[in-house]
Structure 1
Amino acid sequence: MTTLTTAGAPAPARSKGVRHAPHTRKARRKAAWIGLLAWIVGIVFCVPALWMLLTSFHSEPDAATNPPSIAAPLTLSGYKVFFGAGGGASPWPPLINSALSSVLSTALVLALALPAAYALSIKRVRKWTDVMFFFLSTKMLPVVAGLLPVYLFAKNTGLLDNVWLLVILYTSMNLPIAVWMMQSFLADVPVSIIEAAQVDGARLPTVLLRVVAPVAAPGIAATSLICFIFSWNELLFARVLTGVRAETAPVFLTGFVTSQGLFLAQLCAASVVVSLPVLAAGFAAQDKLVQGLSLGAVK
């Protein structure tokens, strides 16, 4: 029998025994298997890094055994050699050069990419899609193809073995990807708050620094961290264009592969130390990095 509402319209019949948004046992079992698979994949990806860390605490004979010995005695000899014990080369100049070139180039990239992304996302210029394609097309050139012209330019200008040349190169290499990333981040910034700031008399530098930058902070953090990682890990240009004064940390790592053989324990110890700045930066900006990389993923 159909019941009537106060307006005279029939009320919807209530179905018995039907749950809204049911969480069945099959769905829970499927979610558990997916979670277990995600843990397995994560552990598999972490195994090489954990193995490198363990090998760095082994002696050279134990690190070179085949199959490798997990229960070998631990030692700090690899780290002592890396930090110059026994008359070895000091790692501090290469680490300082890497930090200097990476930090300065990342700062320059952000200073140039923020206004460019603002013009391409919020105050869009004419044919902005063509501009975005131009930025993307600069990444299609293989790095090796530009190595000889860059080397000749550095040689003729006296910039060989100079850390400032690396700053310029890393800025130009990371700027296209930074503009692409920040354009998508700034596209989600509400235009109303920008217009309100402009009504109050704020000029473009004030709008960028005090309005747009705080709102897009997660995206800026993600962009800066990625540019820092790319600069810190770059090897080809640094290997060819530097010598002694501007040698970077990745170039310093190649010194552990000599004609006498591969010093595996020392190389693993050096790799762990060189990886620490990137890991520290990632953990420091972890919340903003995750938020920035997922910004705009769900509409």
Structure 2
Amino acid sequence: MAKLLEGKPLAEKIKEDIRKQAASLKNKPVLASIMVGENAGAAAYVKSQAKTAESLGIEYRLQSLPQDTSESTLVELIRKFNSDSSVNGIIIQMPLPVNIDYKKISQFIEPGKDIEGMHPANIGRLLFGKAKLIPCTAASAMELINASGIDLYGKEAVIVGHSEIVGKPLALLLLDKFSTVTVCHIGTSKAGKLEEHVRRAEILIVAVGKAGLIKGEWVKEGSVVIDVGINRVADKIVGDVEFETAEKRASYITPVPGGVGPLTVTMLMRNLVEAAKSQQ
């Protein structure tokens, strides 16, 4: 039976370090958060961010804009925060209205203030193994993998899902640790090869958003399983991996909820303090 890799105890431990680092800075770190329009999910995430920031000695400045905000108005606000020396980090809350392209807009954030780690300059640093601001979900997954104590050198790591925020940055992070990395995606599934790749994974990370995509019996005996997926099935929240069967085969596995989720906001705050240290 697998040991559970729970995010909350790990997050609390990391928060202690963030709190100390924030307190040691010359000025209180400031996070500028931009929310466009009204969305219940985004509002809940903002509330969680603000609460965590406050508990860590970080100032959280929320700027809410109306639904009909234009791209140019949003860019203007980003530039204002870029030039404000009191602001250490900027986050744009998702989702954005359909008329605003996040990939385009996010490039206007000063790389040193891009605490989501998604600016092309920060992704470039990740490629060279020099990144200090790492995409939060990918960083959370790495923290959980490290908590298992597994030696990543030479291990077969299989990532299912190739998104910009999880799969791709995680592949680079694992390559930096000399794991042998395979990235699976919809093309892998259509070719009928997903099961074959998953079965040889010593480290399996799944981030697709499809309940039960990975069958429990595919999971290799003794492997480490990180399930990033969050799906609502009836009145339950479940991951992308069939938990009950996988738990009997893996050595370590993340629960859903309670695995990766509790760490993401903590990683955001760690990035903010890292950005503040570089700026002061």
- Say which one has the larger Rg: 1
Higher helix share: 1
Comparing both structures, which one devotes a greater share of its residues to strand?
Answer: 2
TM-score by length of 1: 0.24
The structure with higher relative contact order (CA 8 Å, sep 6+) is 1
TM-score, normalising length: structure 2: 0.26
